[in-house]
Structure 1
Amino acid sequence: MHKIKYEIFLFLLLLPFISGSEGDRSPFYQNCVKSCSKANCTLDGSFQPKSAELQDIWCRWLKWNCKDDCRYHCMWRTVQGFQERGYKMPKFHGKWPFKRMLGVQEPASAFASLLNLLSHIHMYSEIRKEFQVRDTPLVLFWHVFALVCMNAWTWSIIFHTRDTPFTEFMDYACALSMVMSLFVAAIVRIFHRRRKLTALILLFTLLYYVEHVRYLYSGRIDYDFNMLINILFGVVGSLLWMVWACFQYLAGRHYVWRLVAFTVFSGAALTLELFDFPPRNGWDAHALWHLSTSSLPVLFYRFVIHDIKFLKTVNIEKSNFKIT
């Protein structure tokens, strides 16, 4: 019995070292954070008056508190110690270390996310210039789709600028909303004439999304499971688009090549996530993934614009047929 109690005590004692990544598990990092916090921080994590003056204005604006600053500086001291001993760069709390820039935690990923956001904004403005909402029933849907994507990339920028539990939750929840929106877009476009079937699928998709967001908000996130859900909806949506595009192309609607190119390039870009390598000149695999997708919305929205024009033409022809 005493042996079991001792083992439990030992497990709890070592828990901080076995539940994180290699970097934050290291005793050097743990002791560094403790020493830094004791010397510079108050009990609530704020800066002591003498230490607050050392923080630059950018970090102050982005709400880096004293303990956050200690973790950041101790992270780089630990990296230096690892590299001096010939070890590879370690991760900290599941993430690679990045040099802050103007207080931004992951500058490359934040910049790449901004490029994606600007790409969506530009193409959304093209749709607004080209069409009125009343032109076809699908125009309103594409407005909503674009807003969902722009919201997701906005939270991606915020999360990579400042990683907190709330910004992480919003990034994951909104990223899934964008992936599921692409799946929903395939359902809406392919089955837009079968409204009851479309409405039923959309209802179940929305209910699942709400349940998954509730799960993410619980804080007990299984990152592999969350990634699996994103991949599942992404793959199913891509397959639907590809099969539909093949039939459309054979029917003479050659503008769908843009949709095919978008789907293929998106899948190729996603493979960057599999090469989880340390940052090189500030860019890791995740940042490069975001960078590689920044021009792809142009392809997709160009397809959308041509498809709306096609649907308008079909509707006009049907109207003329009824009149005659």
Structure 2
Amino acid sequence: MNRYKKIICSILVCVLMVTAVGCGKTKNSSTKKYDGNYIFYVSRDKDKLENEQYKTKSSDTLEQVDEMIKKLTGKAIPKKVIVNSYNLLDGILTLDFSEEYLEISKDEEVLIRAAVVLTLTQIESVDYVAFTVNDSALTRRDGTIIGNMQATDFVDNYGSDNNIVFSTRFILYYGNEDSSNLKECDVMENYTGEESKEEFIVKRLIEGPDEKGYNRIFSKDIKLISVMTTDNICYVNFNSNFLTEQIVGSPELAIYSIVNSLSELNYVHKVQIMVNGDTNVSFKGVKLDNAFIRNLDYIENETKEGE
């Protein structure tokens, strides 16, 4: 087993441990379970995660965050990396790091992210953790933004030597058979940790459905430049082909395919669509200057026969 697979397996074991901690709170347990938290940290060899038990001293959420960050510093977070600030809003805890974070090697950085997310999402009010560096969203080497992370992202499964694979349920909205309305598609998908859930959703909409009874809306020649969520608004930035390529169905159907699919993520309340970073444009007659909210009027109303 190579170094990268060892890292993946280490993270998987830690996820199972976090799950076990939650199960220990159920009724009728025949054995006494540890009712505190765990601090996850990177081993000395930087090839796996280890943990230690830790009970927070405070019942206040932000004070718990502060306690855990201090425990993580020097163990998961390298001493040279400074946590500039942190902010908790709508279940998303955003940590802002100093620029030294960008100097961390790829393998170690995966472990650090896993350790921090696994530790901090044990706090009741923290559902997701996001990383920024000097107030700029953390990006991969190709420039794409790493989105909000949760404990189950690390990991449900693992695939090749080069990819961490997540198995997650998504609700996507494609065109129905005659492209008159949107039709909900409930799928379990595997996706690699090299992209956020928002990015995965938009790319999957462009690729089109695999299942029968659904119709593709977008041309595969449409290119996604970037997608990120901040303050519950998901910003989706396409290249100029978004305006010129043919679609199937109405432009409203295309817009709400994106908006409704992304709004299935509980931290996305609005979607702002851009073209080359510009919102002062129209998509086949639909102005993009304001963010869109979920619209159920375009979703097919399925009724069972005989009802």
| Structure with higher helix content | 1
TM-score normalised to structure 1 length: 0.29
* Greater RCO, CA 8 A, separation 6+: 1
TM-score normalised to structure 2 length: 0.30
| Structure with higher strand content | 2
